[in-house]
Amino acid sequence: MIQYALKCSNGHTFDSWFQSAAAYDKLAKAGMVTCAVCNSAQVEKAIMTPRVRPARNAKSSTDVPVPEVGPTDDAAPTPDLEKVVAEIRRTVEENSDYVGKDFASEARKIHLGDAPERAIYGEAKPEEAKALIDDGVPVAPLPFIPSRKTN
């Protein structure tokens, strides 16, 4: 797994995890990497700093002064992530059908034309989602766990 810092054409920044660098490239080329804030598909990798842990015998980081960096005037305000996710959940639930654990088979049926085309959401095992992506079925992970709907 690899985590990338991403930036959309509207200036929003966010992080996302991918199975590999090749998986990111494949999803980005297919237009399946979208901004978590505005849903723009024009997303590119942002400059990242690597996470490097100091050696065990290295001096404590408190020995080195770190300058404070404040926000700049052109910094975009950071949206309340919980509100953004709640809005995404509301939009998905209002505009698509919940198919539960049948997501992979239903998405494949829609892609092949064996079921009516419509927006769906549900649950899939990682290997099922990977198989859908490998077969060209457009799917994307949701930033929330769907509520299980029961009758």
Hey, how many other C-beta atoms are within 10 angstroms of the C-beta on 132? Answer: 19
More confident: 99 or 147: 99
Q: What is the pLDDT of residues 34-88, one digit of tens each?
A: 887 888 888 888 876 665 566 666 555 445 455 555 555 555 555 677 888 888 8
The pLDDT value given to residue 56: 63
The amino acid sitting at 130 is K
**Range 4-19 average pLDDT:** 85
The pLDDT value given to residue 89: 87
The pLDDT value given to residue 103: 92
For residue 4 the two structure tokens come to 């990338």
**Range 9-33 average pLDDT:** 86
Q: What is the pLDDT of residues 90-141, one digit of tens each?
A: 888 899 999 989 999 999 999 999 999 999 999 998 899 899 988 888 888 8
**Range 21-33 average pLDDT:** 86
**Measured distance CA(118)–CA(144) in Å, rounded:** 20
C-alpha distances out from residue 102 to 98, 99, 122, 129, 151, Å: 9, 6, 7, 12, 16
Give the three-state DSSP class for 4: strand
For the chain, the domains span 1-50, 80-151
The pLDDT value given to residue 105: 94
More confident: 19 or 148: 19
